[in-house]
Amino acid sequence: MVYPNIKLTPSFKLYGLAVVVMIAIAIITASALVLSYTKDIVTQRVLSERKQQLADKAQLIGQQVLFYRNIVKRLAKKQIAADILVFRNQDEALRWSADLRRRLPYIAGAALFTKRGRVLGNSQRQSISPASIATVRKFLRGVPISRPPIHHRRDGPSHIGLMAPVRDGGKIIGTVFISISLDSLQDSIKLLAKPGMSLHIRERSGQTILWAGDRDKRENTTKVSIAIPKTDWIVDLFQPEPELDDVYVAFGSITAMAVVIVTLLALVVLMFAVRMLTREYKTIQGLLRSVAKGQTPEDLPKPNIKEMAEVMPAIERMTRQIHNRQTELKELSLTDDLTGLPNRRHFQETLDRAIGLARRGMPVCVGLIDIDHFKQVNDTFGHDVGDKVLQTLAEVLQKHTRASDFAARIGGDEFAVVLFEMERPDAKDWFNRLRCGMRDRTMKEGLCRTDLPCTLSCGFTYIDIKKDVDTLMVLRKADKALYKGKAEGRNKVVGL
């Protein structure tokens, strides 16, 4: 969303000027009062301020590390990582690593690890050191490791290792690993280290990670240390000891009262500005609360400040977009409520991905499954039994499908499967096993009778990249095979 450029009116500039004056006067007052005390008290004050500055710097460093962590988490959630791990494609893993390092230059190495800790591809070509491999294996075994682990190298720059598990169907199937050169962090540390200041980042064990500033000039300096958030790192700040100016102490003592009076006047002006802004902000908060409750306000109140009038259209567009998105999310449910299997929308998305894999040379079988005489089962035994038959077929499908396969209920008594890397004879045997398993299960549980068995008709086909340009053509072929089986007497498996 593009927000409008806000130009301050003279009245708003007056309020802003009042804020600036108040802050400046408050700083002068604080300085005068601090300098009127002893040098020890001043030193403690300065050290406290430095510790706060160091906390801000530590927060910035932690945010940069968190940025890298978020990258590896997003990589682990991408479907291509799961596909490569499921099919153990070494060439695809090498291409994935090379493309990632080309697009993100600060990534020194990248690789996919199986859940047993084996690198997919070539560790040397992917710039994965033996120490990195050992760290990933500890991570997979649940052994505690430092956050993030540091790998010091003699033949190149040291780096940090970041990992995130890759899941498929809720199960962990491997790990994404990337290494970030410490040179990228070194540049950021140099920017944070102002003149006369030295920053030292180390592990809790004392091992130096990064240093910015002159490490030799540490005489007559004070040291402040703080932990970097969400890491096992410590940052030390070295700065010269604070000095006390006697003349400035005297000046501060004399002018302290005058500064306090001026500050009170500035506060009075500021109160009026804050009151006006608070009223407008409460209006915006009310709009956001309405959005959080799923409501879309029809009429927006008119603001009293010109700048807010320019912002309101952007807020209105934002609330509309959020409301529309909430509506879309309700419609995009991907699970069938009765059977727990993926629904037709989910199947359509998987079929689109399957066509992409078929174009890369993978054999992909698409099958449709229909329960024979299901209407008679409903009419004879009732809809409760019919629902139980559907749930039983879903359980049988889940039992027969592999981790890489996909099964869904796409409507009524019709189900669909996508079988990856399965040859045609094996596919026909698979459908026959499914057909027999469903028949035996329903007879054993008494869901059907001998004169009205719960049999299946199955039709399947293979994606032909030369003829099947879209999912509709694939489904037409599978549907044709299914109805051919029904025409031949049902309880059949037909492949085209």
Using DSSP's 3-state secondary structure scheme, residue 293 falls into coil
**What's the pLDDT at 6?**
42
Note whether residue 335 is domain-resident. Answer: no
| pTM of the full structure | 0.40
Same domain, 361 and 309: no
> What range does the domain containing 399 cover?
344-495
Note whether residue 486 is domain-resident. Answer: yes
Same domain, 108 and 148: yes
Overall domain count for the chain: 3
Note whether residue 69 is domain-resident. Answer: no
Question: Could you tell me which of 348, 347, 456 has the C-alpha nearest to residue 393?
Answer: 456
Note whether residue 184 is domain-resident. Answer: yes
Could you say which of 196, 225, 242 is where a domain stops?
242
Burial of 72 (0-12, 13-18, 19+ CB in 10 A): buried
Same domain, 387 and 431: yes
Same domain, 203 and 276: no
218 forms beta bridges with none
**CATH, residue 390:** 3.30.70.270
Same domain, 104 and 140: yes
Same domain, 172 and 210: yes
Which pairs count as long-range contacts for 34-38, CB under 8 Å and 24+ apart, including other chains? 34/252, 35/244, 35/245, 35/248, 35/249, 35/252, 35/253, 36/249, 36/252, 36/253, 36/256
Could you say which of 296, 326, 356 is where a domain stops?
326
Contact assessment for residue 174 and residue 115, using Cβ atoms and an 8 Å cutoff: yes
Same domain, 198 and 268: no
Same domain, 104 and 213: yes
Same domain, 206 and 265: no
Same domain, 423 and 446: yes
Note whether residue 66 is domain-resident. Answer: no
Residuewise pLDDT in 10s, the chain (496 residues): 444 444 445 555 565 566 666 666 776 766 656 555 555 665 677 667 777 877 887 788 888 888 889 999 999 999 999 999 998 999 999 999 999 999 988 888 999 999 999 999 999 899 898 889 999 999 888 888 877 888 776 666 688 899 999 999 889 999 999 998 888 777 777 777 777 777 878 888 778 877 777 666 656 677 888 888 888 888 888 877 666 555 455 555 666 666 667 666 666 766 666 676 666 666 666 666 666 665 665 555 566 666 566 666 777 777 777 767 766 665 567 889 899 999 999 999 999 999 999 999 899 999 999 999 899 988 888 899 999 999 999 999 999 999 999 999 999 899 999 999 999 999 999 999 999 999 999 888 888 877 788 899 999 999 988 887 788 899 999 999 999 999 998 999 999 8
Token pair belonging to 69: 């962590």
Note whether residue 266 is domain-resident. Answer: yes
Rg (CA), the chain: 34
Amino acid (one-letter) located at 361:
G
Same domain, 358 and 406: yes
Note whether residue 375 is domain-resident. Answer: yes
Same domain, 17 and 116: no
